C-alpha cells in the first residue's frame, strides 16, 4: 500500500505526462490517465466552449464539472483555482472577475504550470498568475480569497481533510468555494482501487459522497449545497483492462455509483473582536 507521499508522486508524474497529451486523448480516458475508450467520446468533461473567457489551448479535457459556472464570481474578486492545470478554469474566472480582480492558479505539476504560464503570457493577462505548490499547503496568505474553485482535483489528494482546512484558512470571512469533484456511493473493486492509472484517473482516489460532504461541514463551512450532480460511467472497454468479464458484471450489479458533484459552501463571517465588541 502506497504512502500519501508515494500516491502524490504517482499523480505528479502521470499529470506531467498528461500535460503533453491532446484534449481528445484526455476526454476519452479517465482524466487523461491509462487506457482510452473507443466506445465513449467524453467520459467526464463538460462543454466549456460557450463560457466567456474560454481559451481552447488551456482546455486539456481534464475536468468533471463546470465550477466557474456556479461560483458566483463578482467583478474585483480574488479567485484561487486549485489544481489549475493549463489554466482553463482560471481564465474563465478572470473573465468574470475582470481587470480589477485577480486569479491565482495553484498546481504541483511543473509541466502544467509551464503550460498555464505560457498561455497567460501569450494572452497578455497581467492579473492571472500560476504558482507551483501543494493544495494541502497553499503558497498564499490567510484570508485573501473571495472565491475558491477547483475542478476534479481533490479526489487526487490523499489528505482531503487537510485541503478543506487550507480552503478555510485561505478564504476571507464570508468567502465561498465551488468545487467539482468525483465521489462514490458504494465500493470500487480492489483491482480498480489499487491501480495507479485509476487513481490518477480521478476514480480510485474518490471517497464516499457522505464522507466528502461531512468533511465540508466538520471544517466549519455553512450554506452548503450541491449545485450539480451527474453519474460517471466507466466504459466496458476501459474496465476490461483491469477486470474480468465476471468482475465487470459483479461491479455493475453491486449498485456502486461514481458521481461528479459540484459543491458550494461559505466560510462564516468572523465575529467582531475589537475592544468592547466581544463578550467575555
Give 79-104 as a DSSP string. Answer: EEEET-TTSHHHHHHHHHH-TTSEEE
Residue 5: Cβ-neighbour burial (10 angstroms; 0-12, 13-18, 19+)? exposed
Q: Measured on CA atoms in the order 156, 162, 168, 169, is the torsion positive or negative? A: negative
CATH top-level class of 4-186+196-235+258-266: alpha beta
Q: Which residue has the cell 473582536?
A: 273
Most confident of 128-142, 187-201, 228-242: 128-142
Lowest-confidence segment of 21-35, 84-98, 156-170, 211-225 by average pLDDT: 21-35
The domain limits of the chain are 4-186+196-235+258-266
| CA atoms of 134 and 58, how far apart (whole Å) | 21
pLDDT at 44: 78
| Closest residue by Cα to residue 200 from 133, 144, 155 | 155
Q: Is the pLDDT of residue 256 over 90?
A: yes
CA dihedral 69, 74, 80, 86 (to 10 degrees): 50
Q: How many CB atoms lie within 10 A of CB 63?
A: 27
pLDDT at 63: 86
Residue that wins the pLDDT comparison between 136 and 42:
136
Amino acid at each position: 500500500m502506497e504512502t500519501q507521499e508515494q500516491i502524490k508522486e504517482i499523480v505528479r508524474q502521470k499529470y506531467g505526462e498528461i500535460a503533453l497529451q491532446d484534449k481528445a486523448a484526455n476526454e476519452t480516458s479517465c482524466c487523461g490517465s491509462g487506457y482510452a475508450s473507443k466506445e465513449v467520446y467524453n467520459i467526464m468533461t463538460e462543454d466549456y466552449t460557450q463560457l466567456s473567457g474560454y481559451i481552447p489551448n488551456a482546455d486539456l479535457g481534464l475536468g468533471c464539472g463546470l465550477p466557474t459556472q456556479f461560483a458566483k464570481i463578482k467583478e474585483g474578486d480574488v479567485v484561487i483555482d486549485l489544481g489549475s492545470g493549463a489554466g482553463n478554469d482560471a481564465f474563465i474566472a478572470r473573465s468574470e472577475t475582470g481587470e480589477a480582480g485577480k486569479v491565482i492558479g495553484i498546481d504541483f505539476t511543473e509541466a502544467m504550470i509551464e503550460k498555464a504560464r505560457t498561455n497567460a503570457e501569450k494572452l497578455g493577462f497581467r492579473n492571472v498568475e500560476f504558482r507551483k505548490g501543494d493544495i494541502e499547503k497553499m503558497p498564499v496568505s490567510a484570508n485573501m480569497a473571495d472565491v475558491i474553485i477547483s475542478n476534479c482535483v481533490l479526489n487526487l489528494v490523499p489528505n482531503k481533510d487537510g485541503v478543506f482546512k487550507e480552503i478555510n484558512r485561505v478564504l476571507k470571512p464570508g468567502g465561498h468555494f465551488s468545487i467539482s469533484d468525483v465521489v462514490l456511493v458504494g465500493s470500487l473493486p480492489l483491482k480498480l482501487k489499487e491501480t495507479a492509472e485509476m487513481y490518477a484517473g480521478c476514480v480510485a482516489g474518490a471517497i464516499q459522497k457522505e464522507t466528502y460532504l461531512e468533511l465540508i461541514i466538520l471544517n466549519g463551512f455553512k450554506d452548503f449545497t450541491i449545485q450539480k450532480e451527474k453519474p460517471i460511467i466507466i466504459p466496458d472497454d476501459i474496465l476490461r483492462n483491469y477486470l474480468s468479464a465476471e468482475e465487470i458484471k459483479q461491479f455493475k450489479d453491486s449498485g456502486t455509483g461514481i458521481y461528479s458533484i459540484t459543491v458550494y459552501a461559505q466560510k462564516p463571517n468572523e465575529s467582531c473582536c475589537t475592544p468592547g465588541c466581544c463578550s467575555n
